[in-house]
Amino acid sequence: MPKKPAKKAVKASPQRAAKKSPKPIPLKSGPQKPRPWTPAEVHEAFSRFRKANPEPKGELEHLNPYTLLVAVVLSAQATDAGVNKATRALFAVADTPQKMIALGEEKVREYIKTIGLYRNKAKNVIALSEKLIAEFGDEVPRTRAEIETLPGAGRKTANVVLNMAFGEHTMAVDTHVFRVGNRTGLAPGNTPLEVEQGLEKVIPSEFMLHAHHWLILHGRYTCLARKPRCEVCLINDLCRWPEKTV
């Protein structure tokens, strides 16, 4: 039998032969971390705060460490102005743990009923008063760990009381301080504790007694949540916020 002619090899076209090189995968560019503040910048910022307001005061009205503790417990998810409106009359009749217990939970509720979560807060005020008498000799304890054992008192409450009543260099982080720490880049953090520790790390000791008040007031009246007033900000040239308006 005659042999079948061999099939001619088909040459691959250059286009088919060359493998397509994979397209480079674009790198995801997340938000860039702001450049950390230098020690000189931090010192300058707090020097300006001190010059503008040498003796800042907390806005919660109180008569003694006990009434300060009660006021801070009542201020959770409430404004200082709203708390002051309720506690002026309350503290006039009950400024010690014994007087508060004698007043009783029901009457405490009546005094603070304009404050959010007033029923639970009244219960906590009576419970913490009882614990102060039973375990702390009628006195507000002077350590964070002990204050945190009191009903309704957390880390922020303890830091406020330690700072305002006893002059400790603590950093109470509320919503204003948390916002300022993150927005300015002074002490970025995902939690209040991270911001607290970051601020304590960078703020010089000479400013720590009043630092949390300066930051609270700055957040409350200048570095507002929705429309920050960058044009009147004392530290707008130092602030790392990319959206600042100056």
pLDDT tens track for 2-22: 555 555 544 544 444 444 555
Domain harbouring 124, CATH code: 1.10.340.30
Q: Which residue has the tokens 């630092």?
A: 211
More confident residue, 35 or 108: 108
Residues 88 and 160 in one domain: yes
Categorize the per-residue pLDDT at 137 as very low, low, confident or very high, splitting at 50, 70 and 90.
very high
Residue 26 CB neighbours (<10 A):
6
Residue range 141-158: mean pLDDT, rounded: 97
Residues 100 and 176 in one domain: no
Question: What pLDDT does 16 receive?
Answer: 47
Dihedral in degrees, nearest 10, Cα atoms 239, 192, 36, 42: 60
Q: Is the model's pLDDT at 33 over the cut of 80?
A: no
Q: Which of 127, 147, 166 is the last residue of a domain?
A: 166
Residues 70 and 159 in one domain: yes
Asked if residue 10 belongs to a domain, the reply is: no
- Cα–Cα dist 67/167, whole Å: 16
What are the phi and psi torsion angles at 168 (to 5°)?
Answer: -75, 150
User: Over pLDDT 90: what percentage of the chain?
Assistant: 84
Asked if residue 219 belongs to a domain, the reply is: yes
Whether residue 208 contacts residue 169, with contact meaning beta carbons closer than 8 Å, is answered with yes
Question: What pLDDT does 30 receive?
Answer: 52
Categorize the per-residue pLDDT at 245 as very low, low, confident or very high, splitting at 50, 70 and 90.
confident
207 exposure class (CB count in 10 Å sphere: 0-12, 13-18, 19+): middle
Residues 150 and 74 in one domain: yes
Catalytic residue among 85, 174, 201, 227: 174
Quote the mean pLDDT of the chain: 91
Residues 119 and 179 in one domain: no
Residues 175 and 217 in one domain: yes
User: Which stretch of DSSP H or E encloses residue 165?
Assistant: helix 155-166
Asked if residue 242 belongs to a domain, the reply is: no
Question: What pLDDT does 238 receive?
Answer: 97
Q: Is the model's pLDDT at 88 over the cut of 90?
A: yes
Q: Is the model's pLDDT at 141 over the cut of 90?
A: yes
174 catalytic per annotation: yes
User: Over pLDDT 70: what percentage of the chain?
Assistant: 87
Residues 102 and 70 in one domain: yes
Domain housing 125: 65-166
Residues 69 and 124 in one domain: yes
- Cα–Cα dist 126/103, whole Å: 9
Residue 7 CB neighbours (<10 A):
6
85 catalytic per annotation: no
Question: What pLDDT does 3 receive?
Answer: 52
Q: Is the model's pLDDT at 74 over the cut of 70?
A: yes
Catalytic residue among 51, 113, 156, 227: 156
For the whole model, what pTM was predicted? 0.83
More confident residue, 27 or 131: 131
Asked if residue 178 belongs to a domain, the reply is: yes
